[in-house]
Amino acid sequence: MRIPTLAIVGVGLMGGSIALAARRRGIATRILGVDQQTNALKQARQQGILDDVSTHLQDVATAADVILFCTPVDSIAAGVLEAAAHCRPGTLLSDVGSTKAAILRDVQGRLPKGIEFIGSHPLSGSEKHGLAHANAQLLEGRLVLVTPGQDTSDDALSRIRDLWLALGAQVRVMEAEEHDRAVALTSHLPHLLSSALAGILPPELRDLTATGFRDSTRLAAGHPDLWSAIFRANAANLLAALDRFEEQIQQFRQALLAEDAAALDRLLRQGKKIREELA
Amino acid sequence: MRIPTLAIVGVGLMGGSIALAARRRGIATRILGVDQQTNALKQARQQGILDDVSTHLQDVATAADVILFCTPVDSIAAGVLEAAAHCRPGTLLSDVGSTKAAILRDVQGRLPKGIEFIGSHPLSGSEKHGLAHANAQLLEGRLVLVTPGQDTSDDALSRIRDLWLALGAQVRVMEAEEHDRAVALTSHLPHLLSSALAGILPPELRDLTATGFRDSTRLAAGHPDLWSAIFRANAANLLAALDRFEEQIQQFRQALLAEDAAALDRLLRQGKKIREELA
What value of ipTM does the predicted structure carry?
0.95
| pLDDT score, position A76 | 98
In single-letter form, the type of residue at position B165 comes to L
Average pLDDT, consecutive stretches of 10 residues, N- to C-terminus, chain A (279 residues) = 95 96 97 95 94 96 97 97 97 98 96 97 86 93 97 97 98 98 98 98 96 95 95 98 98 97 97 94
| pLDDT score, position A127 | 77
Look at A257 and B235 and tell me if their CB atoms are within 8 Å: yes
> Can you tell me the distance from the alpha carbon of A91 to that of A69, in angstroms, rounded to the nearest whole number?
13
Of A7, A12, A10, A9, which is closest to residue A133 (Cα–Cα)?
A: A12
Dihedral angle over CA of B138, B140, B143, B144, nearest 10: 70
> Can you tell me the distance from the alpha carbon of A90 to that of B137, in angstroms, rounded to the nearest whole number?
59
> Can you tell me the distance from the alpha carbon of A69 to that of A199, in angstroms, rounded to the nearest whole number?
31
DSSP run (H or E) holding A118: strand A116-122
| pLDDT tens track, chain B, 279 positions | 799 999 999 999 999 999 999 999 999 999 999 999 999 999 999 999 999 999 999 999 999 999 999 999 999 999 999 999 999 999 999 999 999 999 999 999 999 999 999 999 999 877 788 899 999 999 999 999 999 999 999 999 999 999 999 999 999 999 999 999 999 999 999 999 999 999 999 999 999 999 999 999 999 999 999 999 999 999 999 999 999 999 999 999 999 999 999 999 999 999 999 999 997
Q: Could you tell me which residues come within 8 angstroms of residue B46 by beta carbon, excluding any fewer than 6 positions away?
A: none
- Reduced to 3 states (helix: H, G, I; strand: E, B; else coil), residue B93 is strand
Of B21, B91, B97, which is closest to residue B57 (Cα–Cα)?
A: B91
| pLDDT score, position A1 | 78
**Sign of the dihedral through C-alpha A196, A200, A203, A204:** negative
How many C-beta atoms surround the C-beta of residue B237 within 10 A? 21
> Can you tell me the distance from the alpha carbon of B14 to that of B121, in angstroms, rounded to the nearest whole number?
11
| pLDDT score, position B233 | 97
**Are A146 and A160 a contacting pair, CB within 8 Å?**
yes
How many C-beta atoms surround the C-beta of residue B9 within 10 A? 26
**Are A68 and A92 a contacting pair, CB within 8 Å?**
no
Indicate the length of chain B as a whole number.
279
- B224 → closest Cβ in A123, A172, A265: A265
- Residue B172, strand partner residues: B145
- Reduced to 3 states (helix: H, G, I; strand: E, B; else coil), residue B273 is helix
Residue B73: left if φ>0, alpha if ψ -120 to 50, beta else—which one? Answer: alpha
The tens digit of pLDDT for each residue in B162-171 reads 999 999 999 9
| pLDDT score, position B1 | 78
Residues in A touching B230 (Cβ below 8 Å): none
**Are A260 and A254 a contacting pair, CB within 8 Å?**
yes
Terminal Cα distance for chain B, rounded = 33
Mutate to test the interface with A, among B209, B230, B270, B277 (most CBs of A within 10 A): B209
Mean pLDDT of chain B: 96
> Can you tell me the distance from the alpha carbon of B232 to that of A264, in angstroms, rounded to the nearest whole number?
9
| pLDDT score, position B127 | 76
For residue A87, the 8-state DSSP code is P
Greatest CA separation for chain A: 67
- A186 → closest Cβ in B190, B205, B257: B205
Question: A88 to chain B, minimum CA–CA distance in Å?
Answer: 35
Scanning A244-273 for CB atoms below 8 A from B yields 244-249, 252-253, 256-257, 259, 261, 264-265, 267-272
| pLDDT score, position B96 | 98
Cα A53 to chain center, whole Å?
23
B71 — contact with chain A (CB < 8 Å)? no
Helix pair B224-233, B73-84: axis angle to 10 deg:
80
| pLDDT score, position B112 | 97
Scanning B217-236 for CB atoms below 8 A from A yields 217-222, 224-225, 227-228, 231-232, 235
| pLDDT score, position A128 | 82
